[in-house]
Amino acid sequence: MRDFSRERGRFLRAIPGLIGRFFTLILGIFLAVSLSILFIFTWISLSGNARIKTLDKLPAKVDCIIVPGAQVIGNRRPSPMLQDRLDGAIQLYRAGLSERILVSGDHREDNYNEPRVMRDYLIQEGIPEEAIFMDHFGLDTYDTIYRAREVFQIRTAIVATQRFHLQRALYISKKTGLEASGYATDPRVYLDHTYLLIREFGARIKAVYETRTGALPLHSSPVRPIQGDGRTSWDSF
C-alpha cells in the first residue's frame, strides 16, 4: 500500500511537467505552421511583384489580356472589384497591347454568369465583340490560368486584377508555363479588403499545392485556340 501511494505521488508530481511538454509541443507545431504560411505568402508576394508592371513597362504585344472573374451583382452588373479589373483590361486593349481579351469566371448555374456580365460590360464600353473571348469555367484563379494555357493555347498574356490577387495569379502562371505579366487594378479601397487579405493566406497555400501536384481544373474542355472571332467562344463548352 505504501508503494502504491509513493507511485501515485510521483505520478501526480509529474503531471505539470507532462502538461508543460505537451503545450510546448503544440506551440512548436503552431509556430512552424505559422512561419511556413508566412513564408509562402511573402514568397508569392515578392515573386509576383517582380512581374507587375506599369502600363509603359508592359510587353508591347501579347496573345491575350486575361481578366479573372469576381462577384457580379444581380447577375447583371459587375461588382466594384470586377469593374476595376475590366476597366484595367480596357486600358490595356486601347493601348494596343493585345487584340484579344479573355474573360474567365464562374458560370456553373444559369442564374449566375460572371463571363456574360463581363462581356456585356466590355461591349458597353466600346470593346468590339469579336475581340472578347469567354471561358465559362474559370471557377477559381488556378482554373482560369490553367485553362488559358491548355484550352485556349495562350502563350503570352497580361493579367488584369488587384495586386493582392495578381501576385498569386502570376505565381500560378509561372508554374503552369504561361508567360504572363501583371497589371494591377487598385483604384480604390474595397469594403471587404481585410477579409480578402485573410482569405488570401489559404488561397496561396492551395495554389502551391495545385501547382506542385499538377492538379487538373474542375471542368475539362477541348482545345480552342484563342484566335479569329471571339464570338465563337461565347457558348459554354
Strands 179-184 and 156-161: parallel
Q: What angle do CA 92, 48, 104 make, to 5 degrees?
A: 50
Report yes or no on 18 lying in a domain.
Answer: no
By DSSP bridging, strand 77-78 and strand 72-73 are: antiparallel
Backbone angles phi, psi at 210, to 5 degrees: -65, -45
Q: Which domain holds residue 171?
A: 55-233
Whether residue 13 is contained in a domain is answered as no
pLDDT in tens, 32-87: 666 677 778 888 999 899 999 999 999 999 999 999 999 999 999 999 999 999 99
Compute the Cα dihedral for 184, 170, 97, 113 and give only its sign.
Answer: negative
Each residue's pLDDT, cut to its tens digit, for the chain (237 residues) gives 555 566 555 655 666 665 666 666 666 666 666 667 777 888 899 989 999 999 999 999 999 999 999 999 999 999 999 999 999 999 999 999 999 999 999 998 888 999 999 999 999 999 999 999 999 999 999 999 999 999 999 999 999 999 999 999 999 999 999 999 999 999 888 887 788 888 999 999 999 999 999 999 989 899 999 999 999 999 876
Residue 89 within any structural domain of the chain: yes
The reported pLDDT for the residue numbered 150 is: 96
Judge whether 17 lies within some domain: no
CATH code: domain of residue 128: 3.40.50
Rounded-to-integer distance, Cα 124 and Cα 121, Å: 5
Establish if 38 belongs to a structural domain: no
137 inside domain: yes
Task: Tell me if 14 is assigned to some domain.
Answer: no
In a domain, 212, yes or no: yes
Q: How far apart are CA 125 and CA 16, in angstroms?
A: 69
Counted domains in the chain: 1
pTM: 0.86
HEC secondary structure over the chain: CHHHHHHHHHHHHHHHHHHHHHHHHHHHHHHHHHHHHHHHHHHHHHHHHCCECCHHHCCCCCCEEEEECCCEECCCEECHHHHHHHHHHHHHHHCCCCCCEEEECECCECCECHHHHHHHHHHHCCCCHHHEEEECECCCHHHHHHHHHHCCCCCEEEEEECHHHHHHHHHHHHHHCCEEEEEECCCCCCCCHHHHHHHHHHHHHHHHHHHHHCCCCCCCCCCCCCCCCHHHHCCCC
d(CA 178, CA 61): 15
With cell 461565347, the residue in question is 234
